Amino acid sequence: MKVRYAVVSGFLGRVADRFTQYQPHRTLAERFELASQIEGLDGFELVYPSDFEDLEGVRSLLHTYGFGVPAVNLNVKRDPKWRYGSFTAKDPAIRADAVCDMKAAMDLAAELGADKVTCCPLIDGHDYVFQVDYGQAWRWFVQGIREAARHRSDIRISMEYKMSEPRVRTILPNVGRALYLCDQVGLPNVGVTLDVGHAIQAGEDPAESLVLLQEGGIPVYTHTNDNPGDWDWDMLPGSVHLWQWLELFLLPAGDELPGLDGHRHHAQANGARGHLRGSHQDTRRAGGVGGADGSGAGGAAEGPGQSGGEPRLCDGVGAMSPSCGWAGQHRFAHPTDARRG
C-alpha cells in the first residue's frame, strides 16, 4: 500500500505561543502553495470553520494542487465564545453551536471526499476543584457527540484525547476515557484519534493504547509526533521514544492484529520547530460493513479488532475516501500511525 501524507493546513500559517511568533500569517492559497513545495505531500487536513470561508475557493485550490482531504478538523476552542466550554458549556446555546459545527464539518467532509471529522475537545474540562459538575458535564458531552454522530452515518467522528491545554484537566484525557466515551455514545461511527504524543504525555505505551482500542472494536485515526513525556512538544516521531515507536509499528503477529486495513496519511508540519511531524494513519479491522486535532494547542496555529463479535465500524477493505484515492487494501499485521492536537 502506498503511504500517503497530508498536512494540517493551519500549521503552515501563523504559529505562535505566549512568548513569540514562529511563522507569519498566510492566506489559505499561500499555505497551499507552501505545501506544494513539500516533497511527497499528498493532501490537506482542512480546519473548520477557518478554512471554509469560500468553499468554491477551497475546491479550486484542491483541484489546482492535486491534494486530497483525509479529514476535516473541527476547531471548537479558538473562537472566544468557546471560552467556558463547547460541548460541555453551561449555556445550552453554546452547546448547540458545538453540535451544529460538528454536523456542518461532517457535511463538508462528505462533499470533499473525506470520511471523517477529527476533533480534540481541549476547551472542555476544568482548572479547579469544585469548578464543574462532573456528572452533568460528562452527560452533556456524551449527548452532544451522540446527536452529532446521528446526523449522518457515512461520516465518522474521531475524538482525539489529550490530558491538558488549554484546560488544566480536559474532559477526554486518556485512552480509557476515550473508550468509555465510545461505549456510552454507542454508535458505530464514533472513533478515536490516537495522537502518539498525547498518549506518551498521559503515561501510556502507544502500542498498548492502540491494541486496547482495537480490542474494543474502535476505529482509530492516528497522529504522529514525540515528546519527553512532560509536555506536548510535537517533536519528530521516534526522536525521544524510539523503542515505543518500534513497538507501535512492529507489534508481533501474536497480538492478533492481522487484517487491519491501514490507511496512512497526515504528516503535520510544525512551523515552530521547522520540521514535518510524521504521518497520520487510519487503522481498523477489515472485513466489516460500513460507514476523521488535530487542532493546534492553545489556538496558536492558523485554525488549528476487536477479538470476537462484529467490529464497531468498518468501511470495508479499501473503502476510505475513494474519490480522493486515499484508501488501499493492505494486510497490516503490524499497525499504526499518529499526530498532535
Q: How many residues does the chain have?
A: 341
pLDDT computed for residue 67 by the predictor: 96
Say which amino acid occupies 30. Answer: E
Provide the sign of the torsion angle of the four alpha carbons 283, 210, 158, 274, taken in this order: negative
Q: Does pLDDT of 191 surpass 90?
A: yes
Q: Residue 223's pLDDT band (boundaries 50, 70, 90)?
A: confident
What is the assigned CATH class of domain 5-299?
A: alpha beta
Q: At a CB cut-off of 8 Å and minimum separation 6, what does 158 contact?
A: 71, 116, 117, 118, 119, 191, 192, 193, 219, 221, 292
Q: At a CB cut-off of 8 Å and minimum separation 6, what does 293 contact?
A: 73, 74, 75, 118, 119, 120, 122, 160, 193, 304, 340, 341
Average pLDDT score over the chain: 78
Q: Does pLDDT of 250 surpass 80?
A: yes
pTM score, two decimals?
0.77
- The residue among 197, 193, 198, 191 whose CA lies nearest residue 216 is 191
Report angle CA 260, 263, 264 to the nearest 5 degrees. 125
Question: pLDDT digit string (tens) for 174-190?
Answer: 999 999 999 999 999 99
pLDDT computed for residue 5 by the predictor: 78
Question: Could you give the CA distance from residue 234 to residue 47 in angstroms, rounded to a whole number?
Answer: 19
Helix (H, G, I), strand (E, B) or coil at 268: strand
Helix (H, G, I), strand (E, B) or coil at 21: strand
Question: Could you give the CA distance from residue 228 to residue 230 in angstroms, rounded to a whole number?
Answer: 6
Q: Where are the beta strands (DSSP E) in 29-154?
A: 41-48, 72-74, 116-119, 125-126
Quote the cell numbers at residue 19: 512568548
Question: pLDDT digit string (tens) for 69-121?
Answer: 999 999 999 999 999 999 999 999 999 999 999 999 999 999 999 999 999 99
User: Is the distance from CB of 47 to CB of 100 less than 8 angstroms?
Assistant: no
- The residue among 109, 50, 87, 122 whose CA lies nearest residue 323 is 109
Helix (H, G, I), strand (E, B) or coil at 159: strand
3-state class percentages of the chain: helix first, strand second, coil last, to nearest 5: 30, 20, 50
Question: Could you give the CA distance from residue 108 to residue 116 in angstroms, rounded to a whole number?
Answer: 10
Question: pLDDT digit string (tens) for 251-307?
Answer: 654 343 332 333 333 333 333 333 333 334 443 332 222 222 334 333 222 333 333
Question: pLDDT digit string (tens) for 294-333?
Answer: 343 332 223 333 333 332 222 222 222 222 223 222 222 2
Question: pLDDT digit string (tens) for 130-171?
Answer: 999 999 999 999 999 999 999 999 999 999 999 999 999 999
Q: Which residue has the cell 458505530?
A: 188
Domain ranges (residues) in the chain: 5-299
Quote the cell numbers at residue 62: 484542491
